[in-house]
Every structure is written in C-alpha cells, then in structure tokens.
Amino acid sequence: MSLWQLDQIRIVLVEPAGPLNVGAAARVMKNMGLHQLVLVNPHCDPHCEESRRMAVHGSDVLAGAKVVSDLPTALIGCERAVATTGRLHPQAQPLDLPETALPWLLPTQPEHRFAAALVFGPEDRGLSNEELIYTQRWVRIPASDQYPSLNLAQAVAVCSYLLHRQVLHGALTETFSPGAGATMGGHLAPLEQIEGFYQDLEIVLLKIGYLYPHTAPSRMAKLRRLLHRAGPDSKELAMLRGILRQVNWAVDAPQQET
Amino acid sequence: MSLWQLDQIRIVLVEPAGPLNVGAAARVMKNMGLHQLVLVNPHCDPHCEESRRMAVHGSDVLAGAKVVSDLPTALIGCERAVATTGRLHPQAQPLDLPETALPWLLPTQPEHRFAAALVFGPEDRGLSNEELIYTQRWVRIPASDQYPSLNLAQAVAVCSYLLHRQVLHGALTETFSPGAGATMGGHLAPLEQIEGFYQDLEIVLLKIGYLYPHTAPSRMAKLRRLLHRAGPDSKELAMLRGILRQVNWAVDAPQQET
C-alpha cells in the first residue's frame, strides 16, 4: 500500500557531505513511504559504496535521486516548502514545531494534490539565511539546549516519521486502539467464565491453606483486581484453569497413594 | 536545562553490531536529553574510532555506556520496560504505537520517579520472542509495508524524539490500558523480582505436572504476557509468591506424613 499523500513530497538535502547520511536518509524515506530525494550540489558521491550500503532496501530512492545545482531549482514546481533549521532566528519569523508545520505539506484531498518540499541543510552549517528565504515556513526540531544539533539523517528520520504518522493517523487510531483486550482483535473472556474461575480459585486456595475463611474475601478481591487488569481472553483463562486443576491433582494424588 | 523526567530512562541496545549505529544512537540521545545507554553483549567495540566520530558531542553518553551480558541484567532496577519490534506478532499481545506506550516510561511527578528502559534489538534480526518477554509492552514504529525495517539508530532517533517531545510539550497522549500497570501513581514491582517469580512459578508448574520440559518455554511465555499486562506491584507479587509457596507446601506435606 502506497500513501498517495506522500507521493509528491520531495526531501531536499542541500550540499550533503556525508555519503552515510545520504544513504541513511534514503533508507528512512523508503521506510516512511517517501520516494523523491533531491540533492542540491552534493559534496559527496551519493552513489558510492558507503551510501548504497547505508540505504539497504532504500537503494531505489537513492538511485532515483535528482541532483541539481541550487535550491531554487530543487523547488521548481513546488507549492509549499518547509525548511529545517537548528538555529534560533530571533529577528526573523518564528520557528514552527514539526508537528505544526509538516502536516501543511500534505494534501487533504486526492483532487487537490500539490508538490511540496522539506529542506535540510548541510551537516556542518545548516541552512543559511539566504537559503531559508526560499521556503515559506521554518521548522526547528525541539532538542536539548546542551546539544541541539541533530545528525542530518536523524533529522530526516524524525520528520519523515512525523509525515508518515500524520497521514496514517486516522486509520491508526482505529486499528491500533490501545487498551482493552488480550490478543489483537481478540475477545475478552466472558465475565461469567471469569467468575467461575474465581470460585474455583478460592476453593483451591482454601484447600492448600493459603486462604482462611476470614481472610478469603479481601484476598480474593485483590486477586480479582490483578486479573481484571490483565484482561484475559478465553484461551488464557483456560490455561489458568488448567493450572488450578493440576494443583488440585498434585495435592490430592499423594494422599490417594497412601 | 535538563529534563528530570528523562534522567532515569535507559536506552538498551541488544547486541548492536554496527559501531556507527551505536555512535549515532549516543548522539541523538544527547540531542534529546537522554543519558543512560546500556549495551547488551555488543558485537562491536562501542568505543572505537568510528563510533566516537558518529557520536560527536554525544561522546560522553557513549563513554558512560554500561556493558552487560544479558537483557535481564540490563533491566535490573527498572519498573517499566518497553521493547521495540518490527515484526507483527498476531498471536501475541497487540503492539502499541510509540505515542501510546512511550509516555508510560515517564514519571509524571517528581516524587514518583522510577527507572525505565526502552529496548532495541540487533540490526539483523531485531528482538527475539525470548527477549521480548522480559518487557511489559511492545512498540512497533509505523512504517511502509514495502520496507518496514528501520535502521537501528533511526529507530532510536524517532523514539528519543517522541520521549523528549512528550516531556516538553505533553503532545502525546497516554492512555491507561490494562497493560498500563497497577494502581495509577503506584510503583510496579521491579522487573528482577518479577523474573524471580517466573522462575519459581516454572519450577512449581513442572513439579505439579502442569508443565513438561518441552512445553515449558511457550507456556511460560503466555503466562508472562498475561502477568505483564496486569502490571503487578510489589504487594501483589508478594501475594502471588505466597500462593506458590503454599502450593509447594501442600504438594509436599502429605508425602512427608507418609
């Protein structure tokens, strides 16, 4: 399944110098359903052995990378462009959070598609003010002020993930709904089955001397809370009942032998 | 400014083989305010030239990395552990989204701190089922089904970013699912205590004839899943141990009488 919302997004790397970074960027783009890589005046050979080794199965993204000489050329045809920057530009426009600006690169309806670009600067200096002005919005990835500068490929990873996540979000909240239930899509054991188990459990625990009649209710209440939190399905409950039966048998068996 | 919520989070890499990955992981950890790196039986020299070059100013995280021989040792003292996996485990527990499970690793109040771990598998195979069972929750980073396998350091980058982001802006939503553990605000039992219980449980279940040596691992894995979902606290674990002791006693007692 390909996500059409991501089809027209270009990841633009300005003057990347590290072939490992270019390869790693291609890989994570492929991971996240992005395909268009544009390299502006690369300072390394993007098709060298090191780069391809890092790309692994993203090698098709790497092989299809377009090389251009300047940033305006990289942005031709784009309606929207967001630049990433690690620096704070107090006099300039405010920096957006990735979660705020990146969704803006995505079309919301199939009939309203447009090309868009997400731009990353060189490893050593980031994007210059002259380069930033070609884009409409600027994003800064929040990071520790002790060391705010991310590796280029890591920055591509974080942003690509967020783009992918944004597209999937609706579907994901449905299929991966967190919470109730043991197995994926499975049913919890019916409550009456669980009640039956508690009754058998109490009998066995009394029998082996773990419970005494006067302590049984409060102890059983604690055990119930624990098991209810786990939310067992029918198979798991059957497993627990199997243990109970076997305890019963093991306790009785030697007595029968005597 | 250091973010105290991140101080007790360990990033655990199981058998990492690529020094570049270890170095890049250390860098992005430092970027995101994480400091505790634990390497389980690394298949590379984490302090080699390549690794240090990738870490750049995260070299202190790299230098402080703790090397241990197995995953349970890496988790000693932790209350909560989340594993990352690229595989789908249809018969097993549902996989969480990073945005759902990662906030669970963070304390919400300064007086309620706890150690927690986020575990990543080896580059070539990811975490095995045997390794996954040591953790309470499993996370899968959503990715393209054409190439879902992220580079190790990229996976660390995405998760570290999300942890940092959650602390800074509370952007992610934690949902308290059954797996989210005991009483809200209470302490879960330390994982090494839970491990000790599992070992005792297996011995007892073998003794009473519920388990056989050849079925023990898969059955124990299912029982682990169930109990991890419940998230027992120390009192509850003590209760379960009490039951085990009593079963043991009840099974032995009649034989001693004869």
Q: Is the pLDDT of residue A54 over 80?
A: yes
Residue with token string 């300072």: A43
Q: Is the pLDDT of residue A159 over 80?
A: yes
Predicted ipTM beyond 0.85: no
Residue A96 lies in a domain: yes
* Average pLDDT of every residue of chain A: 86
Position A67 confidence tier, pLDDT thresholds 50, 70, 90: very high
| Segment B208-238, tens digit of pLDDT | 999 999 989 999 988 988 888 888 888 999 9
Boundary of a domain, candidates B130, B152, B180? B180
Least-confidence region, from B89-98, B110-119, B142-151, B211-220: B89-98
Residue numbers of the domain that contains B58: 4-180
Instruction: Let me know whether B74 and B123 are in one domain.
Output: yes
Residue A37 lies in a domain: yes
Is the alpha carbon torsion for A202, B195, B193, B112 positive or negative? negative
Residues of B in Cβ contact (< 8 Å) with A206:
none
Boundary of a domain, candidates B160, B180, B200? B180
Residues of B in Cβ contact (< 8 Å) with A226:
230, 232, 236
Instruction: Let me know whether A163 and A216 are in one domain.
Output: no
Residue with token string 């939503």: B173
Distance from CA of A184 to the nearest CA of B (A): 5
Least-confidence region, from A118-122, A191-195, B80-84, B149-153: A191-195
Residues of A in Cβ contact (< 8 Å) with B90:
184
Q: Is the pLDDT of residue A45 over 60?
A: yes
* Residue type (1 letter), A30: K
Contacts within 8 Å (CB) and 24+ apart, B140-143: B140/B84, B140/B85, B140/B86, B140/B87, B140/B88, B140/B95, B140/B96, B140/B97, B141/A161, B141/B84, B141/B86, B141/B98, B142/A164, B142/A165, B142/A168, B142/A172, B142/B97, B143/A31, B143/A32, B143/A33, B143/A164, B143/B86
Question: Are B131 and B41 contacting, i.e. CB atoms less than 8 angstroms apart?
Answer: no
Least-confidence region, from A15-19, B50-54, B116-120, B225-229: B225-229
Least-confidence region, from A121-125, A171-175, A199-203, A241-245: A171-175
Q: Hey, is B181 helix, strand or coil?
A: coil
Please list, in sequence order, all residues whose beta carbon lies within 8 angstroms of the beta carbon of residue B179, skipping any fewer than 6 positions away. B93, B96, B136, B137, B228, B229, B231
Distance from CA of A91 to the nearest CA of B (A): 23
| Segment A226-257, tens digit of pLDDT | 887 787 888 999 999 999 999 999 988 765 54
CB atoms A151 and B28 under 8 Å: yes
| Segment A1-27, tens digit of pLDDT | 578 999 999 999 999 999 999 999 999
Residues of B in Cβ contact (< 8 Å) with A120:
none
Please list, in sequence order, all residues whose beta carbon lies within 8 angstroms of the beta carbon of residue B33, skipping any fewer than 6 positions away. A143, A144, A146, B2, B3, B6, B164, B167
CB atoms within 10 A of CB A117: 25
Tell me the CATH number at B196. Answer: 1.10.8.590
Least-confidence region, from A37-51, A147-161, B159-173, B240-254: B159-173
Residue B185 lies in a domain: no
Query: Testing the interface with A: which of B91, B208, B218, B258 to mutate, by most A Cβ within 10 A?
Result: B208
Instruction: Let me know whether B104 and B23 are in one domain.
Output: yes
Number of domains in chain A: 2
CB atoms B208 and A143 under 8 Å: no
Instruction: Let me know whether A241 and A114 are in one domain.
Output: no
Average pLDDT over residues B200-204: 94
Instruction: List, in sequence order, every residue forming a beta bridge with B9; answer none if it has no partner.
Output: B116
Instruction: Let me know whether B195 and B240 are in one domain.
Output: yes
What percent of chain A has a predicted confidence (pLDDT) above 70?
88
| Segment B141-199, tens digit of pLDDT | 999 989 999 999 999 999 999 999 999 876 444 333 434 444 444 678 888 888 899 99
Average pLDDT over residues A15-41: 97
> Which among A161, A164, A230 has the least Cβ separation from residue B230?
A230
pLDDT value, residue A80:
87
Tell me the CATH number at B117. Answer: 3.40.1280.10
Instruction: Let me know whether B195 and B176 are in one domain.
Output: no
Look at B128 and A183; give whichever has higher pLDDT. B128
Query: For residue B204, how far is the Cα from the chain centroid?
Result: 26
